[in-house]
Copies of this chain bind each other. A is one copy, B any other.
Amino acid sequence: MIKLAYAILDRPKIELPLKKITVKKGDILQRKGDINTKAYIVESGLLRSYTIDDKGKEHIYMFGPENWLVADICETNTPCQLYIDVIEDAVLEVASKEELMERGPDIDALLRRLNTMQARIIMLMSSNAIDRYEHFIQTYPNIIQRVPLKMIASYLGITPEALSRVRNELSHRK
């Protein structure tokens, strides 16, 4: 009977039609503190999620290119932690988190994301600026052409100046 549940889970998901919206560069989809925020599936374009710390500095948490699910992981009715805005004009599917759950949670996607985050945490704890940058260009080779370097710096947890010097250093090495 366990097997039964598993088999049902494993069936191709039935895709409910979700609301589709078009957004423009610069639009803000979610602010820190909003409640009952939506989840966005990126069909085309590019999103980013980020925080702003007490000193007013932005820290990019994640980029959301095509096919990514961008959402703040927080419980119903509790304020969210992240801002989400639009870096490149985008077409999005919008869903409440409940709708997504009803579609059937995508366990593989969740596990993949956990894996990504695990790798990021390990990187943040153990790598210097150069290694972080090299790791980034390997992991997201297609993002790098699409966003200003200062956003990549923000994602890596360093300043734009430091990133500039890292790139300089790397290009001079042979």
Contact = CB atoms under 8 A, between A and B. Distances in A.
Given A110-B110, A110-B114, A121-B121, A126 B73 contact: no
Q: Say how many copies of this protein the assembly contains.
A: 2
Contacts of A14: 1-2
A102 interface: yes
Interface stretch (A18-26, A40-48, A51-59, A141-149): A51-59
Given A73-B114, A114-B110, A117-B114, A122 B81 contact: yes
Nearest to A119: B81
A132 to B, nearest CB: 11
Interface string A84-112: 00000000000000000111110100110
Interface in A1-49: 1-6, 8-9, 11, 14, 16
Contact of A114 (B2, B114, B120): B114
Given A2-B104, A5-B9, A114-B114, A124 B122 contact: no
